[in-house]
Structure 1
Amino acid sequence: MENKTCFHCGDDCGNHPITFQEKSFCCNGCKTVFEIFNENNLTCYYDLQNSPGAVPKEIEGKYDFLSEEKIIENLTEFRSDTIEIVTLYIPHIHCSSCIWILENLKQLNTSITDSLVNFGKKTVRVSYSPKTTSLKQVVILLSSIGYEPYISLEDYQTEKKQVNRSLIYKLGIAGFGFGNIMFLSFPEYFELNEYWLEQYKHLFRWLMFIMSIPLVFYSSQDYFISAYKGLKAKILNIDVPIALGISVLFIRSTVEILFDLGSGFFDSLAGLIFFLLVGKFFQQKTYDFLSFERDYKSYFPIAITKIAPDGSESSIQVYDIEKGDRILIRNEELIPVDAILINGKGKIDYSFVTGESQTVSKISGDKLFAGGKQTSGVIELEALKSVEQSYLTQLWSNDVFNKNKDDGFATITNKISKHFTIAILFIALVATMFWIITDISKAMNVFTAVLIIACPCAIALSAPFTFGNLLRIFGKLKFYIKNASVIEKLAQIDTVIFDKTGTITSNKSSNAIYDGELLSDTENLVLKNSLRGSNHPLSRSLYSILKEHNIVTLDTFEEHIGKGIEAKHNDINLKIGSASFVGNPQETNVLNTTVHISSNNVYKGKYTFYNSYRKGVSKLFNKLKKQFDLVILSGDNEGERENLKKLLPAKTKLIFNQKPEDKLEFIKYHQSEGAKVLMIGDGLNDAGALAQSDVGIAISEDVNVFSPACDAILDASKFKELYAYIKASKSAIKVIKWSFVLSFIYNVVGLYFAVTGQLAPVVAAILMPLSSISIVVFTTIATNLIGKKLK
């Protein structure tokens, strides 16, 4: 009786398979999983990959510990009455079917609202309603369909990196096999015809064959798996020629010793696999180092206000927060750390974390989670732990916020290497046909050498290593970029748009003069506390200028983006903002930036600001004018037009009285005309414009501006270096193009020797990783030189 394989997991069903709907299963567990998928119309799971599942394990009583409140608290990253979020490590994730089913968990359990897979980290982030399900039920569901999570309660929230040692094992086996096969090949190399060689050569050849089996079927399996998945998806990826080369060498060598035609090419095969893995190991280690530098050393300069025991306030960087610190969160500021609400009324928007923009009301004593945004005035918190910078980076870099900008954007690597594999396969086949006709003994060597020598690894590596290294360098120089594609987009821009207030002007050195009816002590108290709750640059400037007042909790606080603030305390209702917002349409003086005030709908007066522009603004614009169209897009009035005309180049467009939506539409229109737009502004009023632009940069100056809308955060102290950063991005593209040229030259030279039959496969295998390593060294040195120029 012919044994059948399990439709779900692919294991041998033995002599007694379980049959259901004309399909064979190895056990009831696999049959049950299929039934679950079938009942929920999820059998597409099997269309994406044959036998993709794992055998579900016995789970009865295994996860009872997940009912304990303290354990749930430790494992979940966010909890509220309506939603809980947990990230689980799933070791079995291995293919497109896994991603598909794990991102469709809500069809298996309607209480699950969302699930997102990170294939590289083998994790799934699950959001679910605690009212109708629990963490234990989610984990049981995952286990029941063959995706049992790995749960470690010790230091779980530090998210320790799972170390994948499989490459080390494969490299070790390949090294052992290569060394021994080369040793066994020496007698044949030296053509020793003594009696003992004639007697033992067959034994040596079969030993080489046996040693090559684990090399082909274990050490090199990743290349075969990748090639198979690519072909299944109708894509010729870079592993197809490698897998073909290994297969040809192994099959031909096996045929030779089987029919006693020769000793085969097991030495070349072993060398090929060993040197391929050495190159892969080097690449992985180098990229891990770049990732480490990026994730844990590049702290972007988000500031937070710390309240000292004596009540004084000072700005510190978020990663200086310690457990027990009292911190102040203003309107529209992000909560950077899990904390307890001490004072004020919390109205928290957790859309960064949950994807839902509905606000949650909180009162004193409630726990608030990192990633929430306060949307109604000022609150004071007590930190429960220090900041996990990697968590903030994760929020900022969430793919959800990148989708629109990345749609239709083709990377330089995709453009250049798109048809590379097809070309190489064509050359290999033509060259092989030629040698079959002229000298068949060289045909297989030529075919294998061409496939290996022309491996496009060098092309594939140049962009990741160049951009990865530049991300690290930029981070150290206080320019914090979300991801590598931002550098590529930055190199393509032709239009630079600046906001004025808080962008080209400095909040720290501004001064203001009050003109109007004097405010009462109570009104001054409400004014000071209203400004305390706002993150707008003018609010922050005015707050620092006014004298100290007692801190009170406002009854109501509402900030109208682009217009002003409305706040109430006891019987005082204060409006602070533009003339039209506070009810003074007669305002005619547009000579300076002004902030108007009304109390209980009675106009009181205005503060007139005298802007202080950042150092180096004029030099920066003069550098930019040679290559870019320059625009000042300001929400303020035209009072500064004459000053800006004197300060900035003549061709700079100056556009005033722009609401946030006007800025967005201005950028959208110019993009429709073909412009590549860079927008520089604050992360509050300019969020829409930053999101619409091709690249959006938020300026950070003692402000907790943390928005998914921006692609980069620039420390205000480095504002004058903006041109140098853009120039460095363009230089990075040049480095990648030069590395492509070097790779092309290498391939042309290598292909010449391979096609003419002058290159052995093992030599090609040594040269291939060497070419990759040389490209990595070239890009690293080149980007470090770019970094030195920046410094």
Structure 2
Amino acid sequence: MDTNTCYHCGDDCGKSPISYQKKYFCCNGCKTVFEIFNENDLTCYYDLQNAPGAIPKEVEGKYDFFSQENIVEKLTEFRSDTIEIATLYIPHIHCSSCIWILENLNKLNPSITDSQVNFGKKTVRVTYKNEETDLKSVVLLLSTIGYEPYISLDDFSTKKNHINRSLIYKLGVAGFGFGNIMFLSFPEYFEVNEFWLEQYKHLFRWLMFALSLPVVFYSSQDYFISAYKGLKSKLLNIDVPIALGISVLFIRSTVDIALDLGSGFFDSLAGLVFFLLVGKFFQQKTYDFLSFERDYKSYFPIAITKIKNGEETSVQVYDIEKGDRLLIRNEELIPVDGILINGRAKIDYSFVSGESQPVTKHSGDKLFAGGKQTSGVIEIEALKSVEQSYLTQLWSNDVFNKNKEESFKNITNSISKHFTIVILSIAFIATVFWLFYDATKAMNVFTAVLIIACPCAIALSAPFTFGNLLRIFGNLKFYIKNASVIEQLAQIDTIIFDKTGTITSNKSSTAEYEGELLSDSETSILKSSLRGSNHPLSRTLYDILKANDIVSLDTFEEHVGKGIEAKYKSKELKIGSAQFVGNTNTDTILNTTVHISSNNTYKGKFIFYNSYREGVSKLFNQLKKQFDLAILSGDNEGERENLKKLLPSKTKLIFNQKPEDKLEYIKYHQSEGAKVLMIGDGLNDAGALAQSDVGIVISEDVNVFSPACDAILDASKFKNLYNYIKASKSAISIIKWSFLLSFFYNVIGLYFAVTGQLAPVIAAILMPLSSISIVVFTTIATNLLGRRLK
């Protein structure tokens, strides 16, 4: 065991190392962390990487401000009687060991129920039981094990992105080293013999060596760390040839000046690292811009009902302002934090916390954004406007993420791996040839090949293409959860549609009542029941019925795929299918119907005359050329003849389908090798949407939010669905063209590198330029694609 290096953090232990269990530590803090891990059987933390920890800082008294309730409220994104959730920024997150220990915090503190790391943003989202622990204890635990959070109330209130200052510092050091090394190289470049005397030559060369040390061991360390981790995992990632090239240049240059064989290639070395970091900085800034566009401009097209002066109007969620009175129906998402004013609230916070048990709330209680009302209609007063980035985060919550297929990133990595093997082979073969033919050029050739053929451009093409297309789709009211969905959309061969609320329009449908007239009290209860439901037929019927007094129902329950059951005083109404309300009449009705019973006495039915969305026939005729099409409907077969006239002849029409029937239908076709796209309304179709390869929800002035879906399409853009699918396929073509462009560039570059005509410093300049050219190409190509969509 090395007595000079701390087992936990890797720092120098000095002259007096602390010994514990035959291991040595630089301070009592590191020893304490090891003891904590050892007591909780978490010492495999050290198996993932040598000395991965950080020295814990003295934190006694530092977080006493957490005793102030108003500060804790600002830092927590969700609070209930039993659960609190906070997202903390951890600057020290840097490797797989960090992710592992931070996602196992529950083993150190059982009151922590869940912790999820976002490695890119260096954050951890901690869910804990507030009856057993508090935010201060969580922060102290993190600080104790060397992961002290960065706490700034200003940052949390404004939701600023944390800038990666480390990259800027490394770029600055590399730029400083590159400029000065080039300056010191000028005398030898221009062969200034009068100045370049023996005593100055060695001094200048060793100065260049000294300036190259921070460039190699600080500025380029990320490439070495990445390459090492890749090799340790038996993977050849894209940083292996870069790290090898830097190593070869540094070692060769050091040997040259030590043995007085020449001035080495320190200028090329510093230039290589500088231009690599310039390309990396450009990539980060561009992708940050795309992320900004995604988070703050791709608003969900969901709407909410606003009550003003007794009138109900539908407004988009980002128009909500503090103080607005909002109506939340059954199964609707609460888009903002608010105070419960009226109604019986039974809130499902599983979208936020993963806890599926609904929480009962009373008038005056605070309700958090992200909860779903599950027991009728309620009214709330908004406490603030909508933070759309929070809804984006909620949609992408890992609780609901489903790995339907390998993302395109994995394919890119696979290409890069094979690419790296080929490049390394070419580099070694070319070097061996030049060692025999002209040994003076061998090292230049080896280095130039490794640099010029870096597959960074290949790695960039997919994320930038998909990232820009996500932004374009968002502007066109087609909102996609993440980039991998675009690839899945490009691969589908079967499209399944729900009927009601998907290919039919709620706004244009009409209905006629047949049966025994309803009393005023029954009509009032019916209207109040329909007011609380988000089903397309309920919303249509609610709009059709004349105004009646709205009453606060005693009970309300919506049975998915069946109907609604509501009670007020002595009256109990059932609204839904004939079977649900107990209608034994076997008369065949060829239209969509909604039946009514009062106190188990059948009253009558509403017969609907569907109005199909504009452009449905044209859309299906466009789709039939490339896809298998099917309609799965929970309604009866009354619309079969109308649909046969409206849709292509090969479209499958299947009726009387329960939600579980739709799911099984999709599962069967997937077992036969089909790639299925499911398009529904997000209510009865949640299971089918989750099972499909891609699930799209149609939104029409309804605040229905389904985490099971992969995309939300505004109803007004339904007729453009074919164009969006076509654009997804075009995105794959753009990526393939960028691969071809990168291959063409590499072939030309390799020719000059292998033949010894390309200096390493020129290769270092060309490499980031190639990456930038790929980004520019994919951005321009996707923007042109977006123009065609408009």
Asked if Structure 1 and Structure 2 have the same fold, meaning a TM-score greater than 0.5 normalized by the shorter chain, the answer is yes
- How far 1:607 sits from its partner (Å)? 0.5
Q: What is aligned with 1:493? A: 492
| 1:114 alignment partner in structure 2 | 114
| TM-score normalised by structure 2 residue count | 0.98
Does the CA-based 8 Å contact 1:496-1:629 persist in structure 2?
Answer: yes
Residue 37 of structure 1 pairs with residue 37 of structure 2: yes
Q: Which runs of 5+ in 2 are unaligned?
A: none
Matches within 5 A, 1:171-570: 171-194=171-194, 196-308=196-308, 310-406=309-405, 411-570=410-569
1:617 counterpart = 2:622: no
Shift of 1:45: 0.5
**Structure 2 SS opposite 1:708:** coil
Q: CA deviation at 1:100?
A: 0.6
SS at match of 1:752: helix
Structure 1 residues 184-208: Cα deviation after superposition (integer angstroms, max 9, x where no partner): 2222222233355455222222222
What residue identity is the alignment partner of 1:469? N
Aligned with 1:418: secondary structure?
Answer: helix
CA distance in 1, matches of 2:777, 2:385: 39
What is residue 165 of structure 1 aligned with on the other side?
165
The C-alpha deviation readout for 1:47-99, integer Å capped at 9, x for no partner, is: 00111111112222222221222222221111112111111111111111111
Q: Contact (CA 8 Å) 1:448, 1:761: kept in 2 or not? A: yes
Amino acid at match of 1:754: A
How big is the shift at 1:285?
Answer: 1.3
Report if aligned partners of 1:3, 1:15 keep a CA contact under 8 Å in 2: no
- Counterpart in the other structure of 1:690: 689
Aligned to 2:768: 769
Corresponding position of 1:73: 73
Report the CA distance between 1:408 and its aligned residue.
8.5
2:257 aligned partner, one-letter code = I
Q: Give the counterpart letter for 1:714 in structure 2.
A: L
Separation in 2, partners of 1:668, 1:414: 30
Report how far residue 296 of structure 1 moved.
0.8
Deviations 1:267-310 (A, max 9, x none): 211221121111111111111111111111111211110011x2
Distance 2:253 2:755 in 1: 21
Aligned to 1:664: 663
User: Is residue 523–residue 572 contact of structure 1 (8 Å, CA) maintained in 2?
Assistant: yes
Asked whether 1:579 is paired with 2:578, we answer: yes
State the Cα deviation string for residues 480-512 of structure 1 (Å, max 9, x = none).
Answer: 000000000000000011100000000001110
Q: Which amino acid aligns with 2:127?
A: S
CA deviation after TM superposition for structure 1 residue 220, in Å? 1.4
Alignment deviations for residues 547-570 of structure 1 (CA, whole Å, 9 cap, x no partner): 111222100000000000000001
The aligned counterpart of 1:746 is 745
Task: Give the secondary structure class of the aligned counterpart of 1:100.
Answer: helix
* Correspondence list, 1:627-642, <5 A: 627-642=626-641
Whether the aligned pair in 2 keeps the contact of 1:187 and 1:197 (CA below 8 Å) is: no
Say which SS state the counterpart of residue 113 (structure 1) adopts. strand
Please state how far the C-alpha of 1:173 moved relative to its aligned partner: 2.3
**Distance across 2 between alignment mates of 1:7 and 1:166:** 25
Contact 2:331 2:534 in 1 (8 A): yes
In 1, Cα distance between the equivalents of 2:195 and 2:593? 103
Provide the rounded CA distance (Å) in 2 between the counterparts of 1:634 and 1:158.
46
Change (3 A) 1:494 1:276: same
Alpha-carbon separation, structure 2, partners of 1:595 and 1:304: 25
**Aligned to 1:12, what secondary structure does the other structure show?**
coil
Contact 2:237 2:417 in 1 (8 A): no
Contact 1:127 1:354 in 2 (8 A): yes
Question: Aligned residue for 2:715?
Answer: 716
Counterpart-to-counterpart distance in 2, 1:159 and 1:595:
47
Distance 2:409 2:453 in 1: 24
Cα distance change, pair 589–146 in 1 and its aligned pair in 2 (3 A): same
Whether contact under 8 Å (2:497, 2:503) holds in the other structure is yes
* 1:756 alignment partner in structure 2: 755
Q: Report the alpha carbon displacement of residue 141 of structure 1 after superposing the two structures with TM.
A: 1.1
Trace 1:37-56 onto structure 2 (pairs within 5 A). 37-56=37-56
Q: Does the 8 A contact of 2:525 with 2:550 survive in 1?
A: no
Q: In the alignment, what sits opposite 1:26?
A: 26
Residue type at the aligned position of 1:564: G
SS of match in other structure, 1:419: helix
SS of residue matched to 1:328: strand
- Measure the CA separation in 2 of the matches of 1:51 and 1:180: 35
After superposition, the Cα gap between the structure-2 partners of 1:265 and 1:476, relative to the gap in structure 1 and judged at 3 Å, is same
Paired letter, 2:511 = A
Alpha-carbon separation, structure 1, partners of 2:86 and 2:168: 31
User: Is the 1:304–1:704 Cα contact (8 Å) retained in structure 2?
Assistant: yes
**Contact conserved, 1:111 with 1:128, CA < 8 A, in 2?**
yes
Which letter maps to 1:256?
D
Deviation at 1:612, TM superposition (A): 0.4
Q: Say which SS state the counterpart of residue 306 (structure 1) adopts.
A: strand
Q: 1:252 to 1:548 in 2, by over 3 A?
A: same
Q: Unpaired runs of 5+ in structure 1?
A: none
Matched to 1:373, the amino acid is K
2:335 alignment partner AA: P
Displacement after TM superposition at 1:232 (Å): 2.1
User: Is the Cα–Cα contact under 8 Å of residues 407 and 487 in structure 2 kept in the other structure?
Assistant: no
- Structure 2: distance between partners of 1:692 and 1:744: 38
Q: 2: CA distance between counterparts of 1:565 and 1:239? A: 59
Q: Distance in 2 between matches of 1:410 and 1:220?
A: 24
Encode CA deviations 1:671-690: one digit per residue, 9 max, x unaligned: 00000000111011111111
The offset of 1:410, in angstroms, is 7.4
Q: CA deviation at 1:434?
A: 1.7
- Asked if the contact 2:235/2:417 (under 8 Å) is kept, the reply is no
SS at 2:399 equivalent:
helix
Counterpart of 1:322, as a letter, is: E
Q: Percent identity?
A: 83
Tell me, in whole angstroms, the C-alpha distance in 2 between the residues paired with 1:2 and 1:39. 23
2:187–2:195 Cα contact (<8 Å) kept: no
| Other structure's SS at 1:93 match | coil
1: distance between equivalents of 2:506 and 2:461?
A: 41
Bigger mean CA deviation after superposition, 325-334 or 396-405: 396-405
Please say if residues 409 and 462 of structure 2, whose CA atoms lie closer than 8 Å, have aligned partners that are also in contact. Answer: no
How much has 1:348 moved relative to structure 2?
Answer: 0.6
Q: Tell me how far apart the structure 2 counterparts of residues 150 and 630 of structure 1 sit (CA, whole Å).
A: 52
Q: Any idea what SS the aligned residue of 2:85 has?
A: strand
Give 3-state SS (helix, strand or coil) of 2:341's partner: strand
User: Structure 2 CA distance, aligned partners of 1:2 and 1:511?
Assistant: 82
CA 1:393 to 1:680, structure 2 compared with 1: closer, same or farther past 3 Å? same
Give deviations 1:381-410, integer Å, cap 9, x for gaps. Answer: 001111110001101012332234146887
2:676 is aligned with 1:643 = no
Alignment partners' CA distance in 2, 1:669 and 1:151: 51
- Cα deviation code 1:215-243 (max 9, x no counterpart): 11222121112112222222211111101
